[in-house]
Structures are given as structure tokens and as C-alpha cells.
Structure 1
């Protein structure tokens, strides 16, 4: 049966189109589903098996969506290998969260070691490595793919279309010959549907690193065999809230003062005039994938001035080393680790010691939930907006939560308060989307 696929973004509250695949007489191809994520990428076979892509790592099914270009080597490292190489010696260019720039018309390309890489070429490097790893299980790299995409890359329709166009081109550059798209919450729904013994109306919430996507869909045994699943999708929407923004709130409220926020420095040539750290610098510190973009000459000059004249020397030294030693990724890994611990403990500590940075900052779950309240309110508004547009939502049988932030207790409680504990369900937080994409790819083979 043709799986539900997405060809172009439509209104945020409307079901996406589910066209057929066309010529049924084409030559059979190896196919897979591929969930290209902001933080992690995963792939699955048509039977739903999520593949081991880097078997030598601690999380072999999760291929980290990062690249490292060492200064002294021609090799391009990706996934866990990129992280390990970067940790050994960070002299080079470390690139992460490239998916979050797909919708940005201002980010067309970047220079790495004298070579220009378009955003499509950067994404293709990762997709090609994942395709090759999948080929180990199939005997040859798959030619066909169902690619996941958020329900909303961005609310701007033109930018949303640009993001999908770029992702499609990257998949072509990676070697895929037949490419279809499926929005990620529908993929998660198909994974959830595989275990159902009866029909249900399900709200699926997929919490990624960059976005949260919601879909209301009819699922179950009587729907699985349908050739056209369009009638089963009641509504779909999304919001740009993901795990990275929860991490940013920890940075904003607990750590920015440790990197000079609130300090002042003296402007050269104006001995009696003192200024705070520029807001554009502070803003970049909230995002681990943007921090490397403030290492330009003007920032270096500013840091030099602040090192000489700041009223908080130790904090500015920490800021200097964070920026100039390219330590943003490592710091945000420590922040994420503390966030994960808060999912099961009442108190955690952000532990980070590098260069002149010595952080052991405690944070309570109560603090974290207070910091996160604006995000939780936005998630609730997005959810209620979808439900209010569809009267049948009052008959929801289950709420299926997947993705990393689904493990945050306050996020889960948002849905428990609304629907009751007995209706809120979870599965593998990081591979449900890939499983569903794999099942959808069955029609491509």
C-alpha cells in the first residue's frame, strides 16, 4: 500500500497530502526510512527494524547529526566519530544542528578550510554516511527513502518550502534516487499503530531538538490496510520548541552570569564610560549551534578589551575561553546531561571544567520547571489550538508522546493533566519516528 507521504507544506492545521508513488511497474529498489534530526539521525527497514548505524558506539542506532573537519587532516568525521575526534583535539571546524538552518535563506553556504560548502552539501555528507551504513544491512545502499520532516520547519510558507527543497537536494546528493517525505508525527503514529489491537483516535506529539509536532490521527487494525490514509489524518500542526530551547533556559537563568552577564567593561578611548556585554553576544550564548558564529575578528577585539577592563575578570576569562576555544558543544552536553538527570531526580548539577571554566552549578527540578514555564505554556496553547479546531478531539482515546523532551516530567504532566494518566503513552523516545518512516518505506521497495 502507498504510505502517507508529504510533497509540499500546506496550511499548518490541515492534513498533508498523501499522493501515490506513481509507476507500479518500476524496478524494485532497496528502501529505508530516514529520520534526519537536529541532534540525532536514525534509519529503519520496511519492517520497522531500526538499524545499528555505528555499532562501535554506546548508542549504535542514533547517528549524531554532527561533523568535524580537523585542521590537520583531509578526513571529514561524522556522528560519534566526529565527537570523539573533536574531544581529542578541537582544532578544526565542528558543525552541528545544520537542520535548524535549512529554512534560512540567509544561510546558503559556509567556508571550511578554504572550501565552500552549501547547506545542501553539508546535509548530504551526513545522509550519505547514514545511507552507506544502512547498506551494510541491505547488501547495497538503499536507492529509495522516506525522509521525515517537521510538520512545521517554520510558519513562513516560503521558508518552509525552501527547507524541504534543500533537504530533497541533499538526499539526491547523498545518492538516493527516489525520495518521498512524511511529516514526523505521522511517522511516529505509524510506529504506534503497529502495536494496536483496536482502533483509536490518537494525538501524537513528537518532541525533537528543534521543533514539536502534533498530529491527530485515526489508527488501528481497520486502518492499517488502507491504500489512502488521508481520511485518517484529522489535523496536524507544530511549534518551534524543542530540547535545545529547554537547554537554553538553563543557560539563560543559571549560567550566563558565570560568563559575564551583568558585568561591564570600559570602552577604549572613553576612560569613564562603561558598557554591558553586547546583547547580540549574550544571545548567541543561548544556542550551542550558533556560538561558533561569534568568533569573528570584531568579537575577538571586544573580548580583548573586556579582559583588560571588565569588573568581573574571572567571568570574562571564562567567556573568552568558551568562545575562542570552541567549547560551546561541550558545555551544552553538560547542560543536557543535567536536564536528563532532572527527569528522574529533584536536583542536578551542571559540571564543566575546561580551560579557565570551572562550573559546578546546582539546579533543582522546581527551578527548571519555572524557567521552562513560557515554553510549556506555548506547547499547551499549540495543543489546545489543534484540539479546538477539531470537535472530534473530545473523543481522543490516547496521547502518544515521543522524542527526547517527552521525558521531561513537566512536559508529560501537561498532557496528563489534560487527558489523564491512563491515556498518555510513550515508547522509545528516540527511534519511534525512524520506525514509522521505515514502515512507510515498504511501498518503495
Structure 2
């Protein structure tokens, strides 16, 4: 590497919730400001039907909340490895492949980075989760292959990958003064990824770090899953979730599940789904909740509600209680949420994360007492119940935290400089 010259290549952290672009330049921070002065671009596209144009990031969320007619698409990364990826969706009266929507967003990241850099980028290191898809190597490889095709279609000539937690490890390595055995815990919007890495100041500039990576692992659980469980347990009961039919059976849950899951919210607006819901109403014991559900669907307020729940989850990393006003749906309606409710709701998910970490240590032949540091990154890594569960697993390890939204992008920039000069 030539440290006195800007890197030829960039690194892109395409995240489920937020994305960043890193580019190493002498004397400058590695992360590029993508929207105003902010280093993150929310992974959101809003197709503004009134003006027949797509908008991205915070502006997309703003136009949606301002009430423009259109369609909001978020958690785009969740498409990778899903059955939706090979299908189309209807936009402005025509069919658009979901891969083209991915291309629009990734193209924005490329264009904004190039505008700031005042030069084109032809090589890129893309971050990827350890597993796009759990327990399905073929689907996982298909997800990576799709991302390569999309990246080349938008103008990259050379595309390579680095695991996101490994990239975070390389960012953390810039800060240490001695050798450490570090467990990287990256809790993003869609996945939880782990790497066990030996880091040291004298190893920072080595091109080959294969022997320093002792193990990688992960599970398809992330912040959007925490949002979903908080919604189902704390909000959706006000909309009939868990209610009973006149037959004493539980009310079908597909509409609530779709509303609590970012990339399926639009499904509840389909005519067929609404007809099924209206037919169901005649057989519901207490129609209070389902009638609120109709109001929410009529207002197309599913994404608005999901954003409110996400904000509550973030607040509950610090606060014990949070009131969610649903005045928009019904005067005086409030969902009372708490840190303990969130913890109970996500306990099964945390157990799966802990099990995955235990498997990782066993695979590496490393005892919990040998871990020097747990380094947290990813937007959902600050959930107190998550920290507590990992501390119980690794009680002697020091806990450290980098830039929760920027460590991966910075690490990918370091990797891009090593690979492409």
C-alpha cells in the first residue's frame, strides 16, 4: 500500500437499515458523507408516484411521512436470499424486478461517493454477512452472486467481498496497543454476525490475515427482528393480535405478522388481503382491534407504525418505559412499552444468538476465559438484554464499542486499499 495516496477502491457496507461508503484518503476520516453531512444513508427507497421519481434515504422517509402518494421500500438487503428476489413488483403501472430496485439503491451509494471523491470507482469491496441465509449454502451463494451482478450492472468492474465482522475487526485494530483475542459481535438490521480474530498493532498492514481469523459464524437475526417482536408483543394486541374468533380459535395472524415485518408491510394493502380481513370480521368476538386494523390499513400507515416501533426500541436501550401514541389511529390510543417487555419479547432470539456464539467458540477450540475483548458494532448492538446475555456467556471479557454504524464501512475501506491499492 502507498499510504500517501488516496485508495483506488472504496468499500461499501450495504446494510439492512443503514449503508455507508468508506474510502481511504491521507489525513481524512474514511467514511464519506452520503446525505448532507451524515455518513449513513438509510437503506430506503420511496417511489414518489406524484412526481414519478425514486428518492432515497432520509429524504425518502420525509416524503413518505409528508403524505406523498407512493410506495416505500425498506430493509432492501432482506431481499437477498429470499424468494422475492427472483420476482417483480408493480410500480407506476409496470413491473420492476426486485434486483433493479437493489441496483437503484446501490447505484445511489456509488454516485454519491463518486460525486464527493470527484473520481469514478471501478473496484469495490462489499461487506456481506457471514450467512445471507441460515443453513442453505446454495441460497447463500445465490445471494452473493446476485449482489455481484447488481454491482457490475451499476458500473463496478472488480467486485470482492469481506465478512462484515472481519471488516469491523480491522477498524477496531487501528485503536489497540497490544495483541488481543477479540470476539466481534455485529448486530445489524437483518443478521447477527460474529468473528473470532487475533489482532495486533504490528499486523495491521499485512495483506494476508487468514491465520488470524480463528472462526466466523452468525445467525439470521437482527434489529428488524427485535422490532417485529416488540410490535407483536406490545402494539399489535391493540389491533386484534391474539384475539379470539367466535369459535374460540385465535384470530389468524398473517396481517399482523406482515405489518410487523418491514419488507412485507405492503402485502396488507393488497385487495385480496383486505377482502379476507373484512370477511373475517363477522367471526371475531371483539371487533375493536380489527376495526383499528382497518383504519391503519386505510391510512396505509404500516410503515409509519413500524418506524414508531423502531424509535421506541432505540429509546428503550436507555429508558425503562416508553409510551407510543397511536392518536393517528384513534383518539387517546397509546401503547405502553417497556424495557422488560422488549427483553421478554426477544428472549428466544437472544437464546439463539448465544447458542450461535457458543458454537463459534467450540468450533475454534477457544474457552470463554481466553477472550480478551468483545467488540460490539451494528445499530442494534446496544440493546441492554443483548449485552447482558453476552456478558453472561463471556463474563471476563472487556466490552468495547466502536462507531455502531461506521465500523464496518471503515474496515471495508482498509480492506479495499490493501486489495486494490
- Compute the TM-score of the two structures, normalised by the length of structure 1: 0.86
Corresponding residue of 2:61: 83
- The 1:277–1:351 alpha-carbon spacing in structure 2 relative to 1, beyond 3 Å, is same
SS at the partner of 1:142?
A: coil
Q: CA shift at 1:265, angstroms? A: 6.2
Q: 2:381 aligns with which of 406, 423, 427?
A: 406
Tell me, yes or no, if structure 1 residue 92 matches structure 2 residue 70.
Answer: yes
Contact 2:44-2:74 at 8 Å conserved across structures: yes
Q: CA shift at 1:105, angstroms? A: 3.6
Aligned runs of 1:420-431 on 2, under 5 Å? 420=395, 423-431=398-406
Deviates more, 1:308-317 or 1:293-302: 308-317
Deviates more, 1:184-193 or 1:387-396: 387-396
Aligned runs of 1:167-206 on 2, under 5 Å? 167-206=147-186
Corresponding residue of 1:330: 304
Q: 2:276 aligns with which of 294, 298, 302?
A: 302
Structure 2 residue runs without a partner (length 5+): none
CA distance in 2, matches of 1:74, 1:224: 48
Number of residue pairs aligned between Structure 1 and Structure 2: 411
Q: 1:53 aligns with which of 22, 27, 34?
A: 34
CA distance in 2, matches of 1:52, 1:257: 40
Contact 1:343-1:407 at 8 Å conserved across structures: yes
Deviates more, 1:337-346 or 1:418-427: 418-427
Corresponding residue of 2:19: 41
CA distance in 1, matches of 2:331, 2:214: 50
CA distance in 1, matches of 2:123, 2:296: 42
Contact 1:121-1:173 at 8 Å conserved across structures: no
Q: CA shift at 1:309, angstroms? A: 6.5
Q: CA shift at 1:276, angstroms? A: 5.0
Structure 1 residue runs without a partner (length 5+): 3-27, 267-272
CA distance in 2, matches of 1:87, 1:421: 46
Tell me, yes or no, if structure 1 residue 110 matches structure 2 residue 85.
Answer: no
- The 1:415–1:144 alpha-carbon spacing in structure 2 relative to 1, beyond 3 Å, is same
Corresponding residue of 2:259: 285
CA distance in 1, matches of 2:256, 2:98: 26
Corresponding residue of 2:101: 122
CA distance in 2, matches of 1:357, 1:46: 52
- The 1:203–1:141 alpha-carbon spacing in structure 2 relative to 1, beyond 3 Å, is same
Contact 1:247-1:336 at 8 Å conserved across structures: yes
| Deviation readout 1:104-126 (Å, 9 max, x if unpaired) | 24542222112222222111111
Deviates more, 1:412-421 or 1:129-138: 412-421
CA distance in 1, matches of 2:308, 2:104: 27
Contact 2:12-2:409 at 8 Å conserved across structures: yes
CA distance in 1, matches of 2:251, 2:298: 16
Q: CA shift at 1:29, angstroms? A: 7.6
Q: CA shift at 1:224, angstroms? A: 1.4
Contact 2:179-2:200 at 8 Å conserved across structures: yes
Corresponding residue of 1:148: 127
| Deviation readout 1:301-323 (Å, 9 max, x if unpaired) | 12333556644343222212323
Q: CA shift at 1:358, angstroms? A: 5.7
CA distance in 2, matches of 1:123, 1:357: 39
CA distance in 1, matches of 2:148, 2:346: 34
Q: 1:137 aligns with which of 99, 112, 116?
A: 116
Contact 1:259-1:319 at 8 Å conserved across structures: yes
Aligned runs of 1:350-361 on 2, under 5 Å? 350-356=324-330, 359-361=333-335
